[in-house]
Structures are given as C-alpha cells and as structure tokens.
Amino acid sequence: MKSAVVTFPGSNRERDMMHALELVSGRKPEAVWHADTSLPDVDLVVLPGGFSYGDYLRSGAIAARAPVMDAIRAFAARGGMVLGVCNGFQMLTEAGLLPGALMRNAGLTFVCREVQLETASTANRFTAGMRKGETWRCPVAHHDGNYFADAETIARLEGEDRVAFRYASGTNPNGSINDIAGITNEAGNVLGMMPHPENYVDAQQASTDGRAFFESICGAFATA
C-alpha cells in the first residue's frame, strides 16, 4: 500500500501517522504539504491530527480551503481512500467530504485520555478486516470532538451502516450524538475519526490495539 500524509501549519501528529503507516505497511509514506496542488501516486491519503492554522475560525475550516484539498476531493471522487484523524476529521466535514460537524466538547474542556472504541461497522474498506462489535483501546486528544448532524443525516448514517466507530458505553469523552467516533462517506472510501489509532501501534507505546486498524487498511489492497 502506498500512502501519503498531508501536513498543515499547526499539524502535530503527521510524524506519528507516518510512523504507524510505515510500521504496518512496510513502505515509507510520501510527505505532502498543504500548499501542494497535486498528489503523488498513492492508494491512501491521510489528514493527520493537530491544530491546523491554530483552529482559528473553526477547527479545520481554514485547512479545508487549502490548495491541496482540491486534489484530495478529486482523488476521493476517483475512489481513492482518504482518512482524516482528529483535526483531519474536522477538515473532512468542513470540506464537505463527510456530513455533519465537530463541535465543542460537551464539557467545554480539552480531553486527553484513553477511551474504549467499538468497531461498529466493517462495511467499508477501512475496517473490513476488523471484527464488528469488538472493542479496543484508543487515545483521544481534542477540544472540538462532539459530532453532530441533523436527525435526517444521523438516520441515514445509521441506516446505511456508515458509523465506523463508536465510543463504547460509558467512555464517550465529548458528548457526540449516538456515541459516534467515526463515519464514512456513501462510497465508503472516505473515513473520519476523532480518536488516534496511530498512537497505539508500537510496542513502545501504551498499547498496540490501533495496529489492527492499519492492518485492515493494508489488507484492503492486499486482496484488491
């Protein structure tokens, strides 16, 4: 699997993400800058976590209008896989690639801790290699992670099996509706999630529970 990670001013998880992708795929990801207007020949593009442009205006709002985003929209339209984690998830909603919005946490404070994450759907290429209903450890670190959408959109996401991840019962850190932690687009090739699986892939970290997620993504290309 060939991958690329986009860096924006204020990103702080791009190196973590690149380490995770190289560790699992065996290939070093390409580095892409927010001002680039084209993408390298890759299978997966990742928008990492951080505080792009200082989270001014709204989290992810300015990054969603960066030059590289036009290339990412075109890449997704061709069926390329796009993953947004934390600030990357915020960018995807702001860019219109995913529905809904990420609002201030219900407690109005920054949350940085481990949660229990449930794999709620395996009906997409990102999670097809995982087990539906399994729970695993994953860290979160965000201030604006409270997922919200109107009732019609939520019903559509649930009905179309597009809720990829949920916070397991009792571990919702931000008030997200229906405990939603990650969703996909209609085609299943764009996924946004607030937790950081890239920080639980290495034996030197607190856990390796996040590794199965990246193995599942790589598996999608191994069997393609």
Find out whether 208 and 202 touch, Cβ atoms under 8 Å: yes
User: What pLDDT, on the 0 to 100 scale, is given for residue 113?
Assistant: 97
Assess whether 196 carries a catalytic annotation: yes
Catalytic residue among 34, 142, 143, 196, which? 196
- Residues 153-194: pLDDT tens digits? 999 999 999 999 999 989 999 999 999 999 999 999 999 999
User: What pLDDT, on the 0 to 100 scale, is given for residue 57?
Assistant: 87
Catalytic residue among 86, 94, 142, 218, which? 86
User: What pLDDT, on the 0 to 100 scale, is given for residue 223?
Assistant: 53
Find out whether 213 and 198 touch, Cβ atoms under 8 Å: no
Segments of the chain with pLDDT less than 70? 223-224
Tell which residue, 61, 68, 60, has the closest CA to residue 30: 68
Assess whether 86 carries a catalytic annotation: yes
Tell which residue, 111, 20, 102, has the closest CA to residue 61: 102
Assess whether 112 carries a catalytic annotation: no
